Chain A
């Protein structure tokens, strides 16, 4: 049964992708506008020692981990799954890099490659459980969500491992043309994943599998392979995010790195207009979503509100968005609007 509202929506969203971005962009705009009026010097960017400084730059730089994870999470959610292990994978990859570079004095490049390799293996593992063994994504990724941190603890011997290495530091402290290196890294990751999905047929396959896995299989799509790719991308993105966090604090903390980041990532993806039930996805939407989260966090810090309350705020936002996306709620709302009109 298609309601008139749906039909109208279908008509307006003919050029897909564009209208769905309107809402998250508007939300970001509102938040930025609020800061423009109420946070002094929010938009001031200064140049010191050949580097840019300012709130906006901070938001971009600090928003790198959540953005990276959101990019990977977008693909997983689009296949109709979810990856709860992203935080644990961050901790695991960060710890391996720290142990190799900090304790075993590997070069930065080698250590980072090895850590990203491990993150990739985590993605393969999740993908294998979900795609080939057919275990529900929540359950499958839950296994790694906790045992991942356990393995990280084993690697680090339960200690916080320090890394002092100029190459590794450059990840978060380096700058090119005044802009933090991490921002370029984030942009590069976005472009790579965007090209990989939109300039090939991968994006179409992911949306197809997420929307109707059985029909996709019957149409000849390797639906297992497609899911696998999504989890691998999520793993590698989480690994990169783990590098960022470890580089930032110059140490690996297996207990706290990326803790609760899975919620932020899911939240960013939802804000960006990708539905939890899978199907159509928007990478740029997720990036905007991640920026909204980071801006809100910075705002809360600036306003001196207890940081702890962000968790509650986020929990509420995620539920509200999920409810708005819920089919049930839309039909209820539609019915109420109609009754109001009549």
Chain B
């Protein structure tokens, strides 16, 4: 078989960079990214116009772990390894989409190591017409795992809130869920009153969120994939807000204002019992569970300043976690439990920061004015948060590998309050 000449289309990465990167003066260590090639998939029969290779490339590049390029020509089963060695590519991925019937397709994928010239992985998968994006995310996770030995965060979902102005001056708030790349958005709650703080349960079946639909802050739980009426947690005295799921999925920590005193409570969804987790006359809110469920991090102004604290739920001991700056809030644990992402005030600006809990090292991650609501990707490799661009709320995803940033925004209106689901397993 004739071996085709290949040209690495560098422009793909450049144009993708232009569409996906935000200019921030954090050094991007692109050299550290894994250089690979993902060729366009060969199509046998009718295509359904979903470019699987492009979705995979975009995913891998967004992670900051890869520099994934395309090729001008297809790669079938003969690979010119010496060509790729010359061009310093570490791995070659190619595949084929073969139509079986009107709705069913076979998807083939092959991953080769350029230097050992060996197959690392190959697979045939049958998919439905409507499952192409999902399978592209699944294959992205597969490639990530095969090449890095770590889990990816691609076959996962985001939840977030969009806000748009109506023609009559009112606002429409929507709680939406989407794929991890922002595609396939679906509205699961819609209201003319504010919605905030959506949080996925660990099994991805439920979302807890705050709604003002009854003109007060209340916490609801809904099932985004099954049509049910959202369940309101019992009416508590004063505000109920800031829900976060215990990792076991059976209880939700939330902020309740009893007689005006805002503390964090644990509400057991089965026994309907309420257990008080913090007891302080000041504001305690924005709880996040450690992955093992043994600790909560939270925001408190107990010293007169807004700072982050960690409570060990077994020993009941509360210790201050942030010491740098006068305002640190909205902490969220990393999946390995070692770091907290939080919002840190720098001068007049509120910026995403990463705190190493043990060493107390605080790293400011952005140069933005008003970052909010950080949340880790399930593999811990990225943080999603909301920020402002030209007075408009957008979502931003930062790779912790090389600080590369990807922005997600609405054509019209704002998007805010992101949360990242766990893996679907």
Q: Do A and B come from one complex?
A: no
Give the interface of B toward A (CB within 8 A): none
Give the interface of A toward B (CB within 8 A): none
